[in-house]
């Protein structure tokens, strides 16, 4: 079985210090949390950025400040800036980090409920994001919140409107209003992607650890971090993103999965060094 790529989503756009005081806002805090995850075994860092007061932003200059600082602290790590941003942001606002030519970035594959909000990703938006990634030679991570989002990604790829094979999918499961975090649903989604694709599971809240375990056993990859879950166990908040990654490493060892290094992750994802 292929080595396990661990992605750390260190802050997201929604969770705050009121939820967990370790959630990072400032550049220094972002670097601290990224390095904790990297040192624990994460080879990929998924990056949202905030202003120092915690307000989410897609400001290009803020990304330009934080991404190199994380890269310096985490040599070789794959950084995946978000183009999702936060609900209510315009497509133009969300696309800003792609101007920095990252090797990867997220590409959300459809409009969906996002708790009580609506996360808008219509087809014109997807085509515009795909065209930008083709032009800037950015490999997308296709964020699929519903089963139908896979079909959308595949149709766009077949038409040359987004970068194609090999494709990397992230199945986001357990978010209120979107696909439930269930092993049978995960198996269907995995069987629905093209041969040669790679896939990661992101499970929200209490679904995190059962779905992490399922993904490890099934040969996929996993994402954890404060964006998705702040607990190591019921009632036990993680002190850092590193603690969440350490738990993944422990589960992987129990099931005989080796942890991918940054070089391993690049090979598995088909990225040029």
pLDDT tens figures, 145-181: 999 999 999 999 999 999 999 999 999 999 988 999 9
Confidence at 93, pLDDT banded by 50, 70, 90:
very high
For 127-153, give one letter per residue: b (16+ CB within 10 A) or e: eebbebbeeeebbbbbbbbbeebbebb
Q: Which CATH architecture has domain 6-269?
A: Alpha-Beta Barrel (3.20)
DSSP annotation of 240 = S
Q: Is 237 exposed, middle or buried (0-12, 13-18, 19+ CB in 10 A)?
A: middle
> Which pTM value belongs to this model?
0.97
- The per-residue pLDDT for range 35-57, each reduced to its tens digit, is 999 999 999 999 999 999 999 99
Tokens of 228: 């998705």
- Residues 106-135: what's their mean pLDDT? 93
CB atoms within 10 A of CB 216: 22
231 backbone dihedrals φ, ψ, rounded to 5°: -115, 135
C-alpha angle 112-230-33 in degrees, rounded to nearest 5: 105
């Amino acid at each position: 079985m292929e080595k396990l790529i661990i992605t750390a989503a260190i802050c997201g756009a929604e969770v705050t210090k009121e939820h967990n005081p370790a959630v990072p806002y400032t550049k220094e805090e972002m670097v601290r949390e990224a390095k904790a995850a990297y040192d624990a075994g994460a080879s990929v860092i998924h990056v949202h950025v905030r202003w120092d007061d915690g307000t989410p932003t897609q400001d290009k200059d803020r990304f330009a400040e934080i991404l190199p600082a994380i890269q310096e602290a985490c040599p070789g790590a794959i950084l995946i800036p978000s183009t999702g941003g936060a609900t209510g942001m315009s497509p133009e606002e969300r696309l800003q980090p792609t101007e920095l030519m990252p090797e990867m970035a997220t590409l959300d594959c459809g409009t969906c409920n996002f708790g009580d909000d609506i996360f808008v990703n219509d087809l014109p938006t997807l085509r515009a994001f795909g065209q930008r990634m083709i032009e800037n030679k950015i490999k997308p991570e296709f964020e699929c919140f519903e089963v139908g989002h896979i079909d959308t990604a595949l149709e766009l790829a077949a038409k040359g409107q987004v970068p194609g094979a090999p494709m990397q999918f992230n199945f986001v499961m357990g978010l209120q209003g979107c696909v439930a975090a269930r092993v049978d649903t995960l198996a269907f989604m995995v069987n629905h992607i093209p041969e040669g694709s790679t896939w990661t599971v992101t499970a929200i809240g209490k679904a995190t650890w059962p779905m992490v375990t399922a993904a490890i056993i099934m040969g996929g990859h996993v994402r954890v971090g404060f964006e998705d879950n702040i607990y190591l166990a019921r009632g036990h908040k993680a002190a850092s993103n590193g603690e969440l990654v350490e738990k993944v490493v422990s589960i992987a060892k129990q099931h005989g999965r080796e942890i991918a290094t940054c070089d391993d992750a690049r090979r598995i994802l088909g990225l040029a060094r």
